[in-house]
Amino acid sequence: MTGTLAAVRGSLTTFADAVGWPLTEAQAHALDLDRRTVVLIAPRQSGKSRSLAVLAVHRAFAEPRHRVLIVSAGEEASKRLLSTIRSVTAHPMLAGSVVDEGQSLVVLSNGSEIRAVPASERQVRGWSVDTLLVDEAAMIDDDLLLSAAIPTTAARPDARIVLASTPWTTSGPYYDLAMQGVDTGTEHVITRRWSLADAPWITPSVLAMARETLGDLRYRVEYEAEFLGRVNAFLDPTDIIAAVADYALTPPERAKGGSVVVGADWGGGSHDPHAVAALGVLDDHGANERPILFLPWLEAAHRPFGEQVATVAALQAPRVRQAGAWRTDPARYQSGHGYDVQVLNSEANGVGAWPSDELGRLLGPQRVAAIHSSQRSKEDGYGKVRASLSDRRLVIPNHPELLRQLRGLTYEATASGGLSIAAGNPNVHDDLADALYLAALAMPANLRPGATSPEPAGCEWLTTPAGIAIPRRPRPIYAHLSRRAGVLHAYN
């Protein structure tokens, strides 16, 4: 038994197996504390907190009178981690080892202590510890990490520090230490990574849902563990160039139908125009292998609010009463009566409140959604635009102002863990870009191929740099745009 306990105390992997909380090979290697500071970069849900809990108990169990301090980004996270620690210590092998379980403290019979606290000056400052474990270190305030947490190890020459986190911005002490420790690291700092391949419990279906929910940029941070630049171009210029085709826009008075989702952005003054963008599924007559999104119409204009409301409402084709419901009439499209507007997302912040309400009255509240533009709505909508461009599923017109606005979008990581997306230059508007993101919010993320119309005689074709074929005078197909199914149907 003495030999067994010696092996358990001497090896984190052996200990984890013995107490029924096994670690993967990647987890165990990352937590081999061969330097004073280990910076762990890992995807979301890859077992960071669980592994830190096992490490904390092992360090306390292996050495008498050992002091472990765990700092979490928030109070709830701290409570969850302490609960996991208690579950580990409940194993029969550790029976009799725990002599006290306080609100934030576990004391072992060998005199060791494990303290789990949220990140606050009052909770952290003043302790002297042998092992400091910081969970979600990238989200901890810089001053707290440098001036309170890390100094708890100053009086212990053999102390060990683990800074574990999903990455965030390319600034701050977590990032700086991570960069110091790359490759072979330094004498005191080493950086180790886990990848999605090291977390097989995160299934492809979970990842697909996460990408759809979070958007491409946040997905890269949360699941591919990439650092974000503090301020960067939001859209890759190469992706924008690859999506451009010099096709003709079709104003509603000349439209021959097809379904669209629409975004309406409302200007706030003489130098801030209104903008509207329609987004539909291209009727490509079967030329492309998968559904392609495009903008059949967009416009920025300085009109009185009432006139702009009427202009946006005119996008909708006349409807007829069929089977107890109002429906667009395909036969009317041939004479040019607008589009089948399935969803109209109208910015409702500030000056947008009245026009959004008025559009709801004119078109029906089931068709008009008042969107209160926020950091999250922009992340979601612009994330869809970015993903569509990156996946080569979106064609945009050769519209100089739209292209200028898309190229000028920048993002900044915020302290709350979100993204602030806006025009990087105050002299460049983002009204057309915002109308596009509002439309993208309404478009289903996954569209299954549907029927398209036969190619008409004399159809002229264009090709984007990415190889997407689009008629010179394109139109959207009629599409029942279900957010859940994304099933497409075309008019005959």
Is 321 inside a domain boundary? yes
Q: CA-CA distances (angstroms) from residue 333 to 157, 298, 319, 477, 492?
A: 79, 19, 10, 12, 12
Q: Is residue 24 part of a domain?
A: yes
Predicted local distance difference test score (pLDDT) of residue 51: 96
User: Which among 268, 140, 146, 220 has a CA at the least distance from the CA of 386?
Assistant: 220
Overall number of domains in the chain: 2
Q: Strand 189-193 vs strand 293-301: parallel, antiparallel, or unpaired?
A: unpaired
Q: Do 125 and 189 share a structural domain?
A: yes
Phi, psi of 450 (to 5 degrees): -130, 180
Q: Kindly state the helix (H) or strand (E) to which residue 108 belongs, with its residue range.
A: strand 105-108
Residues 240 and 188 in one domain: no
d(C-alpha 33, C-alpha 401), whole Å: 54
What's the CATH code of the domain at 334?
3.30.420.240
How confident is the model at residue 450, as a pLDDT?
A: 64
Task: Return per-residue pLDDT of the chain as tens, 492 residues.
Answer: 444 778 888 899 999 999 999 999 999 999 999 999 999 999 989 999 999 999 999 999 999 999 999 999 888 888 899 999 999 998 988 877 777 677 788 999 999 999 999 888 888 988 999 999 999 998 888 888 999 999 999 999 999 999 999 987 777 899 889 989 987 889 999 999 998 988 989 999 999 888 877 777 778 888 888 887 655 788 888 888 889 999 999 999 999 889 999 999 999 766 789 999 999 999 999 999 999 999 999 999 999 999 999 999 999 987 544 444 434 444 444 445 799 999 999 999 989 999 999 999 999 888 899 999 998 899 999 999 999 999 999 999 989 889 889 988 988 877 777 788 888 776 668 999 999 999 999 988 777 666 688 999 999 999 998 999 999 999 999 877 644 434 444 433
Task: Give the model's pLDDT for residue 325.
Answer: 41
Q: Nearest 5°: phi and psi at 391? A: -85, 5
In this structure, are 173 and 322 located in the same domain? no
Residues 38 and 86 in one domain: yes
Q: How far does Cα 114 stand from its chain's mean position?
A: 34
Q: Are 96 and 160 in contact (CB under 8 A)?
A: no
Residues 270 and 414 grouped into a single domain? yes
The domain containing residue 166 runs over which residues?
A: 2-202
Do residues 56 and 116 share a domain?
yes
The candidate with the shortest Cα–Cα distance to 249, out of 474, 477, 476, is 474
49 and 195 both lie in a single domain: yes
The domain boundary residue, chosen from 157, 181, 202: 202
**C-beta separation of 479 from 281 below 8 A:** yes
Residues 195 and 239 in one domain: no
CATH of the domain at 186: 3.40.50.300
Are 183 and 331 part of one and the same domain?
Answer: no
Tokens encoding 341: 């507007």
Q: Could you report the per-residue pLDDT of 442-458, keeping only the tens digit for each? A: 988 777 666 688 999 99
The whole-angstrom separation of Cα 375 and Cα 233 is 16
